[in-house]
Every structure is written in C-alpha cells, then in structure tokens.
Amino acid sequence: MSLTFFYSPMSTADITNLVFCELEVPHETIIVDLKKGGSQTPEFLKINPNGKVPVLVHDGVAIWESTAITMYLGETFGVAKGLYPAPGPQRGQAMAWITWANVTLAEAVNRFTRNTMEWVPAEERNPKAGEAGLRATHACLQILNDALAAQQFLVGSYTLADTHVLSLTDWLRHMQIDFTNYPHLNAWHQRCTARPAYKASLAAMGAGA
Ligand SMILES: N[C@@H](CCC(=O)N[C@@H](CS)C(=O)NCC(=O)O)C(=O)O
C-alpha cells in the first residue's frame, strides 16, 4: 500500500495531520511550501486542480478536500481502531459533524475574517457583513456547546468527528474568537487535547512534517 499526505503546517491540512496522529497509519508526508507557490506548480495541480492542501494519494488515487479525507481515512482505517463508526446511523452523525464544520461553521468564520482582517484589502471589507459573520460563528459554537452538554464526545466515544471539529475550532481560538461562554465546549476541548495524538500533532506541525 502507498499512502502520501501533502501537508503544509498552519493550514487546513492541520486537520489531516491530527487525523493521522490519531490513526497512526504509516504514510509518507510531503511538505508543500504554500509561501513559495508549492501548491500552484504544474505537478501539484495535476494532483489537485484546486491547488490546495490537504491532499491524500492512496495507491495512486488523489483525494482532496479535508472533509472527504477525514471520512475516507475514518472508514478505511478508523473503524478497526475504534475511531470511526461502522456503517449505520452513528456513521451518519459523524459525517454530519465533519461536514458541518467545513460548510456551516467555516462559512460563518470566513465571512467574519474576510470582512474584518487586515490581510484583506480595505475596499473589499464590509464591517456589517463581518459582524453578521461573527454572530453566525457564535451561533455555531452555541450549537456545539449544547451538543456537548449531555455527552463527552460528538458521537458516542471519541471519534475522528471530534478530531476534525477540534482542529477547526483551534483555528477559531487562534483567531482570538471568544470561547468564554461555552463551558461544555471548553471541557470537551480539554478532554480532546489531553490525548497523546494531539501533542504528537503539535510536534509534527512544529517540525514541518
Ligand atoms: N476546502 C478545502 C480548503 C483547503 C484550503 O483552503 N487550503 C489552503 C490552505 S488553508 C491552501 O492550500 N491554499 C493554497 C495556497 O494558498 O496556495 C479543504 O477543506 O481541504
């Protein structure tokens, strides 16, 4: 079997890095230097025409989009390791949370950042749209907090749905979004970040692989 992970630290690919740290599946990691245009070379665009990381190449077949990668790695390697539900309603719930993170939560956060952050040219920013994006982000965090009020993890015991959503919420924390009002979400964060895989993922991010 050949399994290659195209990675860039401090990017969406950190989700996949954490998924790999949980799964401990042997694979090769190739660092893509985004600052040097590494995702825009003709060779890379053949693997992912979107020019983005993460990308997984499994036995010669390229799989892109972090949600698809988490679900694919989950069903391929995670079920046997107790980290992803077998086919059935719990599998559906795991897929719902993974998709929700990238579609619903990330859309709200992107709306906030695109309209407020200095790296976007001032003439392209709309402060009112930014405020609406931040409100939508907090509505999502409230949903997550409420879901975690009655259970320790998103779907039964710890799964890659927790891994995926955790990694995305870390990005929000990095952007100084206020988590003060989400006690259940914060307790879950502590449970998840106490796992050895989380510490290993930070080391891999720092080492660039
Ligand atoms: N929807 C994609 C988003 C991936 C994405 O936006 N990746 C960014 C880094 S965060 C990227 O590779 N950008 C390429 C570049 O900046 O050249 C996913 O979830 O995998």
User: Residue 44: which CATH number?
Assistant: 3.40.30.10
Q: What are φ and ψ of residue 65, in 5° steps?
A: 80, 120
The answer on 65 and 39 residing in a single domain is yes
Instruction: Specify the number of domains making up the chain.
Output: 2
C-alpha 202/C-alpha 92 separation (Å) is 29
Tokens of 194: 């106490």
C-alpha 159/C-alpha 182 separation (Å) is 21
Using a 6 Å cutoff on CB, does residue 16 contact ligand 1? no
The answer on 96 and 21 residing in a single domain is no
Which residue, judged by its Cα, is nearest atom 16 of ligand 1? 34
pLDDT per position as a tens digit, 132-174: 999 999 999 999 999 999 999 999 999 999 999 999 999 999 9
* Cis-peptide, bond into residue 26, ω within 30° of zero: no
The answer on 93 and 189 residing in a single domain is yes
Indicate which CATH number applies to the domain containing 124.
Answer: 1.20.1050.10
The answer on 21 and 62 residing in a single domain is yes
The answer on 60 and 74 residing in a single domain is yes
How many residues does the structure list for the chain?
209
Which residue, judged by its Cα, is nearest atom 14 of ligand 1? 52
pLDDT per position as a tens digit, 71-105: 999 999 999 999 999 999 999 999 999 999 999 99
Using a 6 Å cutoff on CB, does residue 63 contact ligand 1? no
The answer on 106 and 51 residing in a single domain is no
Please give the distance, rounded to the nearest whole angstrom, from the Cα atom of residue 156 to the centre of ligand 1.
30
Q: How confident is the model at residue 206 (pLDDT cuts 50, 70, 90)?
A: confident
What is the side-by-side strand order in the sheet with 61-64?
Answer: 28-31, 3-7, 55-58, 61-64
The answer on 38 and 77 residing in a single domain is yes
The answer on 149 and 51 residing in a single domain is no
Domain of residue 170, residue span:
89-195
Nearest alpha carbon to residue 45 among 73, 15, 7, 37: 37
Q: How many CB atoms lie within 10 A of CB 173?
A: 12
C-alpha 27/C-alpha 41 separation (Å) is 23
Please give the distance, rounded to the nearest whole angstrom, from the Cα atom of residue 155 to the centre of ligand 1.
27
